[in-house]
A and B are shown apart, each in its own frame.
Chain A
């Protein structure tokens, strides 16, 4: 997720106190290194990619125009060009989708031999692999993420997710022995814009494997890959209505989660919206899983392998422009290595290439939308106002589109908004600590609990810390790793339920 180039032009070893002259030399060398390289443009071709001028709703196995006749524009955040139009589903359209899903559940999907169900899901996995290049390009065009990420992370993981869960379809009895696992019925699934296709895979694959049918609502800024996935599902000959895709904005999502015919709601998105959904579902008896925001602590001890840590920190916060719910957005550094680490971080940041998402050398792409850019700008301004020291890399940003230069803040206090609120952008807040206990205390001092990181060369310490972090995923000496076999989900206000692994099936099954 981040390239291998290391910036340090001299001495690593984590020596905390280099003479300042040596430090300056190293810094200068790195900056020259970062600016001196001329990268010829290396754009990924888009001639093999066909985006239709207009997309309808995928309901009951057919493409239907929305009842309202209304369409929204899908904009490329890197150029502000209009990519296409997509339908805005109304309550009536959502109702049709839920009815189609119900009929498919009762007539087809719940009656199908489980292995056959699995075979359909394998088909989806295979088609995703076959079309991965096209889908990666569309993902980067529609969402702004670098092609190397959509190509090397989003697409392979999305295909792997379907492949993994396909194999569970006929083994549910073994997953929960003696507990009579049964599907729930119709799942309403609302997904975010940061990993559009991957989140669709995370939602659909376990739901389908467990025997449910689905109504999927992609985010309004990134509907395209979900629509292309619907095309794949159509081509895979899944029974009509097993998967329905309804595009639109917040009102469409509210119609999906609020529909009385939906048995289970799965939502990934902001904690604010998650709370609203949980409140709206109170007393309905609908099953709910929520994967919400985060403000992950990434803890670096003085005995950490600093150069590896730097790569992990950079990947942890700048991967996908920081539009990552599990991003390592709070760096907690042991005081003794703060200066040395900061130097290395700034050097490394200077080498990040910000720009065209379709360029294969790009590390940091476009901010997903104007609204998100404004939110990042607002929180960064708050950080400056509250007294933290800002460092942003100086890089040429394209004239059009939505961009934000990789940024870090030092001197951040726990009370600052940039230490408490999810920025969801390429902005790192750095705090310090003196003892392991203080690190734990600060790491856990948040309403969130999705993920955390710990960097140390001492094995016993990494597990000691991992046990005490109140977070659903802890990366020790690594960061932002994901895998379909590995459960992912939050503690506290980061939501409940797990996605991935055997445990991820529980979100879509009734057991004893």
Chain B
């Protein structure tokens, strides 16, 4: 049952519920698709309502990349400690929205127990990555013992704008689990939400909006992956693609388009259980996939 929705009552004093217009989250603002298009999503929890979700266009994708590219300099330059605090703040905001997120997952077809389990896992994942923000650097970096009088070291840096296709399921944990390592590493991203349950991604966006995350670091789009992703895969300002559960034919097309600007492409289809495996899903390997290693040399001399 939708939160506070009492519009089925026939009594005169029954309150009419206020429904939410779901919007995508781009550049820190909640927006409809510039195309004016929508898709309808059913409420599986019993209330029977049908809700309208924006259907992103190619132009929405381009706007989102612009927002992500604009946010990159500021986000990547922040102190790692500060990024960690913002991610922790995200966990706080998610915790405060536990009921709403769980209700949304139920409306997307999960039973109450599964919904609750997924929400707490997503919150805990944010806590785990908040802790990574100022630690992965010391695991990946190295002081290189070169022959000769040089001080040489290698450090991780963000890749840039990453386009993420969130897995269909788990819609919330998959979304959070995919984007957290990307932004923890200082990247910004454009995320295509699960087509199976896009509504929950937009509720998640409301938590992002209140967690001190600068606008444009995460841009959430809803719509048809096969329609929007090919344009993003060919976009010259996108550095990497992170594809989860994208069907093989589409993934191949995207990889081919990505080659035009030598994008880094990661494509995986994890089983649902793997998303819930905290140990594996918070391995630093997830962050390592979205950093560039930079080696710096300097002579040593009196």
Chain A residues within 8 Å of B, Cβ to Cβ: 160, 179, 271, 274-276, 278-279, 281-283, 290, 292, 447, 462-463, 466, 471-478, 481, 483, 485-489, 491-496, 498, 501-503, 506, 511-512
Cα distance A486–B151 when bound, in Å? 11
Q: Which chain A residues lie closer than 8 Å to B262 at the CB level? A: 271, 274-275, 278, 290, 292, 492-496
**Is B248 close to A, CB under 8 A?**
yes
Q: What's the least CB distance linking B98 to chain A, in Å?
A: 30
The answer to whether B154 touches A501 (Cβ under 8 A) is yes
User: Please, could you name 18 A-B residue pairs with CB atoms under 8 Å apart, sorted by A?
Assistant: A160-B147, A179-B283, A275-B262, A278-B255, A278-B258, A282-B256, A283-B251, A472-B294, A474-B296, A474-B297, A476-B298, A478-B299, A485-B144, A486-B144, A486-B152, A494-B262, A496-B264, A502-B142
Given A275-B260, A278-B258, are A486 and B294 also a contact pair (CB < 8 Å)?
A: no
Task: Tell me whether B294 and A471 are in contact (CB under 8 A).
Answer: yes
List of 7 A-B pairs having minimum Cβ-Cβ separation, nearest first:
A283-B252, A282-B255, A483-B146, A278-B259, A279-B259, A486-B144, A282-B256
Q: CA separation between A475 and B150, bound complex, in Å?
A: 10
Interface string of B57-95 (1 = CB under 8 A from A): 000000000000000000000000000000000000000
Contacts of B147 in A (CB 8 A): 160, 483
Contact across chains for A282 and B259 when beta carbons are under 8 A apart: yes
Q: Which of B146, B248, B288 contacts A481 (CB 8 A)?
A: B146
* A296 to B14 alpha-carbon distance, docked (Å): 70
Residue contact A282 to B144, C-beta cutoff 8 Å: no
**Which A residues touch B1, using CB under 8 A?**
none
Q: Which residues of B, 130-183, contact A by the 8 Å Cβ criterion?
A: 140, 142, 144-148, 150, 152, 154
Name the interface residues of B228-273: CB closer than 8 Å to any CB of A: 239, 248, 251-253, 255-256, 258-262, 264
Q: Which residue of B lies closest to A288 (CB)?
A: B265
How far, in Å, is B274 (CB) from chain A's closest CB? 11
Establish whether residues A283 and B255, one from each chain, have CB atoms under 8 Å apart when the complex forms. Answer: yes
* Nearest chain B residue, comparing its CB with the CB of A448: B262
Q: Which residues of B contact A474 (CB under 8 A)?
A: 294-297
Whether B259 pairs with A275 at a CB distance below 8 angstroms is yes
CB contacts (< 8 Å) of A488 on chain B: these are 295
Taken together as a complex, chains A and B put the C-alpha atoms of A476 and B258 apart, in Å, by 32
- Indicate if B285 sits at the interface (CB-CB under 8 A): yes
**For residue A283, which residue of chain B has the nearest CB?**
B252
* A476-B298, A495-B262 known; A483+B152 contact, CB < 8 A: yes
Instruction: Report the nearest A residue to B152, measured CB to CB.
Output: A486
A-B contact count (CB 8 A): 112
Q: Which residues of A contact B256 (CB under 8 A)?
A: 279, 282-283
User: Does the CB pair B295–A493 fall under 8 Å?
Assistant: no
Q: Which residues from chain A contact B299 at a C-beta distance below 8 Å?
A: 477-478
Contacts A483-B146, A495-B262, A511-B285 given; does A472 touch B295 at CB 8 Å: yes
Residues of A within 8 A of B140 (CB): 503
A478-B142 in contact given A487-B154, A492-B262, A501-B154 (Cβ < 8 Å): no
Residues of A within 8 A of B49 (CB): none
| Chain A residue nearest to B256 in the complex (CB) | A282
Partner of B261 from A447, A483, A489, A498 at Cβ < 8 Å: A447
Q: Nearest-CB distance from B211 to chain A (Å)?
A: 26
Q: Which of A492, A498, A506 has the most CB of B within 10 A?
A: A492
Asked if B5 is at the interface (CB within 8 A of a chain A CB), the reply is no
Determine whether the beta carbon of A485 is less than 8 Å from that of B298. Answer: no
Identify the closest chain A residue to B149 (Cβ).
Answer: A478
- In the complex, the answer to whether A485 meets B146 with C-beta atoms within 8 Å is yes
Q: Let me know if B154 and A503 touch, CB within 8 A.
A: yes
Starting from the known contacts A472-B295, A498-B293, 4 additional A-B residue pairs (CB-CB under 8 Å) come to A473-B295, A486-B144, A493-B261, A501-B142
B26-76 CB contacts (< 8 Å) to partner A = none
Residues of A within 8 A of B283 (CB): 179, 512
Let me know if B96 is at the binding interface, CB within 8 A.
no
In the complex, A481 Cα to B154 Cα: how many Å?
14
Contacts A290-B262, A502-B142: A483 and B293 contacting too (C-beta < 8 A)? no
Chain A residues within an 8 Å CB radius of B258: 278, 282
